[in-house]
Structure 1
């Protein structure tokens, strides 16, 4: 996790279902134009106008920002219509990468400015504006930057593209493939609820007590299995076994995510107040040099890296022995450099990730892992590579008084990974606003709130209840039997069905037609499922060689996103279907 930050209070945006919002926001009048506002003409608080850096627009730019939000520039934005707009900020960062805070009509979020020469444009995500006057404030966070102008244009809200159902481990277990298939099918329609667990605090029990629901994903930390912690007497308290017990709840449908705050293998400083042995995963608490260890593959420190990985592999094998797939999220937040595995830069981190992937997959034959990489804004050079990553996550701890729509972070990750990888909110200090997820289209695969009194236990109980009972949030009791759900076992069938066409899709007239080209006569079943795996329609038909037409009855079904499962014997594949009324 990152630095502790105050609680974000929920501020719901009233919005309709996503497809309604998409329709409204793609129906902007043809004359709708960009709104561009120069910073030097805005209201300034503790900042000044400069013109020494070439390349600015207008008559100058605003400078003098620091870490205080009291130093800011306030824009008055007159919007021709209420709706969601794309926000671009023209900026410069003379002293390296910086962070900024943004507040629109009292709703606050945060973002990053990359370190680029001269002026550049940051895409600050999608923002909701009222018709008429709106107030937009930029300032604070951390850094010294210049603001040249802002620009807003009416936005469209696309659904995220689904990535291929192909894991980096070609030998992944059937259950692991099935879980990933379910995650891909669900992506862009619902969000899975997750919760970081703590043996002492028992956070999942707390969520259940307050909401009557278990999260769909239990997130556990293998921190105390680090050999250097065990050497000082750390007690894991059967954390792995507790996770396995929870995963077997509700007919074994609980989804497990594991992370590892890896205590440095050696060279712990072990000095008070903030460098004690138990904080040895922090850069400040160890002198362990990852780059040096990797440079000498025969050296003692490299062997200690392998020793530690082997110790964690033993824990992961406990899950594999119980046929439990794991959303495996190691080496998180590396680009922040506050953990030792990121302290020496991108290259050593990527090498360590790739070594771990190879050692776990090939040396230890662990085939129950779905590899989740935690990205940092504007840090593309830290990405280990498509061959080593299955899902991309982001950890967000925003210092905000109101709920953020997280659109800026979502937009950045979609720019890099849309159609390639699932994107998830792997760690958050606060519950997300589900109405924002719907209206801004930030369809994280899942979210997981951090543990402790400053995080999940500080969420208002009505908010906690509303999120865990929201129809667009999937909890444990709503999970399908993902072990057999939507498995891509029929790759040859899908390739042979390249002529499959579903129309109309989106469907708005209560009729759904499937055209499918068959290479030979064969009995085929077409099953329509809800996003949670409930079967709502089924048609069996013997296809003839050549083109076939199949009618799926959908007149009585409510509007929403569905999954069409096409099955021939043991072979199957899926397609997404959208019904509108």
Structure 2
């Protein structure tokens, strides 16, 4: 096996981020203050006047950033205790759906059955406060069913039910404006019997503490990282930093945004883990130098020993990689120590391959570190879905892998 150098301490120059919101709003750049050597040709020459204007701002007022015609108006949220129960049989019933009483456990006068074949139950509501709600549907599935709950034209959530007894399914964090509203419950496959629908105020979003610690989690973070983190904290809860993923150096996505809005996003995301990591790193450096924009990098990490990130395409065993191991201690092994422990049967082959991949990716990131460019670093993303190999092995294995990546870099 090939041995790769370990880049210890690189994490002091990075910010690990699970995700960065990317939405359409104002142009906002981070003033770097670092003068890096520039390539011979400026790929952002057409945008240079934008960077020069925006990077001088210490604080950006919303009316300076967002043209009025593109401003977003947010409704005022008024928290108010609310509870309402709507019996399904009180709603207007779709064709061939009737009120029934044969099934045990229903409330009031009965339930409706059976919703199927893309049929939709419309539930009229009178909302007395614009806020987030939790909506509970009491239903049974004579056949395993899938359904979609919408508010007006907006799909809120979908769910699957395969229980043939009345079961409560609760959906959280659904925002409803005040006034007349209509919920739509559509059975997209299988069959559903509906007993009732409950709606009540959802305070869970407000109960969570969203306060940011002004100090980075790593006390050895570089000045550039501390400055970027301070910038993010400064705008937390006040403004949105826009971001855009760019597939290649052509920046077609940025060009389109500029043509439509006359502005650029604050963050340019690209991806490591492909065959052109050198080019991806060059593009990230150019973005930082010529626009003072924030660099974001994702890691599209193929399962070690394979050419795919998808769990179905690999037999890599993440469970076995760090079994009975402290990932923080494994992260401290030099390549030579890791190889020796593997040959002695102390370290699994999977763990050795993980270390080698992390070290190889560190080579790309180190170029940015050496140029004093902080990075919004996004490895191991979308783990909850289970389609990527790093998320398919369960919570414990994922946490161990995260700790290994963090400590190793």
Q: Which TM-score applies when normalising by structure 1? A: 0.46
CA displacement at 1:219 relative to structure 2: 1.0
Q: In the alignment, does 2:265 pair up with 1:265?
A: no
For 2:268, which of 212, 218, 228 is the aligned residue?
218
Q: Give the number of the structure whose residues are more often strand, by fraction.
A: 1
Counterparts of residues 148-297 of structure 1 (less than 5 Å)? 148-153=195-200, 161-199=210-248, 202=251, 203-224=253-274, 234-236=275-277, 238-250=279-291, 252=292, 254-266=293-305, 268=306, 277=307, 280-295=308-323
Measure, in 1, the Cα distance between the counterparts of 2:282 and 2:240: 27
Q: 1:342 is paired with a residue of what secondary structure? A: coil
Taking structure 1 as reference, are residues 281 and 51 closer, same or farther at Cα in structure 2, changes over 3 Å only?
A: farther
Taking structure 1 as reference, are residues 64 and 333 closer, same or farther at Cα in structure 2, changes over 3 Å only?
A: farther
Measure, in 2, the Cα distance between the counterparts of 1:98 and 1:221: 38
Q: Is the 8 A contact 1:291 1:344 kept in 2?
A: yes
Q: List gaps (5 residues or longer) in structure 2.
A: 1-68, 324-344
1:137 matched residue in structure 2: 184
Q: Is the 8 A contact 1:51 1:59 kept in 2?
A: no
Q: 1:169 is paired with a residue of what secondary structure? A: coil
| Structure showing greater Rg | 2
Taking structure 1 as reference, are residues 357 and 53 closer, same or farther at Cα in structure 2, changes over 3 Å only?
A: farther
CA displacement at 1:39 relative to structure 2: 2.9
2:84 matched residue in structure 1: 35
Q: 2:156 is paired with a residue of what secondary structure? A: strand
For 2:378, which of 329, 336, 358 is the aligned residue?
329
Taking structure 1 as reference, are residues 168 and 64 closer, same or farther at Cα in structure 2, changes over 3 Å only?
A: farther
CA displacement at 1:77 relative to structure 2: 1.8
Q: Is the 8 A contact 1:90 1:120 kept in 2?
A: yes
For 2:148, which of 101, 104, 109 is the aligned residue?
101
2:122 matched residue in structure 1: 74
Structure with larger RCO (C-alpha < 8 A, sep 6+): 2
Q: Could you give the per-residue CA deviations for residues 67-92 of structure 1, whole angstroms, max 9, x where no partner exists?
A: x7x2332212234x574462422446
Q: 1:192 is paired with a residue of what secondary structure? A: coil
Taking structure 1 as reference, are residues 243 and 34 closer, same or farther at Cα in structure 2, changes over 3 Å only?
A: same
Q: Is the 8 A contact 2:141 2:161 kept in 1?
A: no
Measure, in 2, the Cα distance between the counterparts of 1:88 and 1:257: 37
Counterparts of residues 500-511 of structure 1 (less than 5 Å)? none
Counterparts of residues 335-414 of structure 1 (less than 5 Å)? 335-360=384-409
Measure, in 1, the Cα distance between the counterparts of 2:286 and 2:407: 28
Taking structure 1 as reference, are residues 347 and 109 closer, same or farther at Cα in structure 2, changes over 3 Å only?
A: same
Taking structure 1 as reference, are residues 163 and 145 closer, same or farther at Cα in structure 2, changes over 3 Å only?
A: farther
Q: Could you give the per-residue CA deviations for residues 550-580 of structure 1, whole angstroms, max 9, x where no partner exists?
A: xxxxxxxxxxxxxxxxxxxxxxxxxxxxxxx
Taking structure 1 as reference, are residues 359 and 141 closer, same or farther at Cα in structure 2, changes over 3 Å only?
A: farther
Q: Is the 8 A contact 2:273 2:361 kept in 1?
A: no
Q: Is the 8 A contact 2:257 2:263 kept in 1?
A: yes
CA displacement at 1:168 relative to structure 2: 2.5
Measure, in 2, the Cα distance between the counterparts of 1:236 and 1:208: 26
1:316 matched residue in structure 2: 365
CA displacement at 1:327 relative to structure 2: 1.6
- Number of aligned residue pairs: give it: 312
CA displacement at 1:121 relative to structure 2: 3.2
1:498 matched residue in structure 2: none
Measure, in 1, the Cα distance between the counterparts of 2:200 and 2:314: 48
2:53 matched residue in structure 1: none
Taking structure 1 as reference, are residues 324 and 200 closer, same or farther at Cα in structure 2, changes over 3 Å only?
A: closer
Q: Is the 8 A contact 2:172 2:202 kept in 1?
A: no
Q: Which TM-score applies when normalising by structure 2? A: 0.64
Q: In the alignment, does 2:133 pair up with 1:86?
A: yes
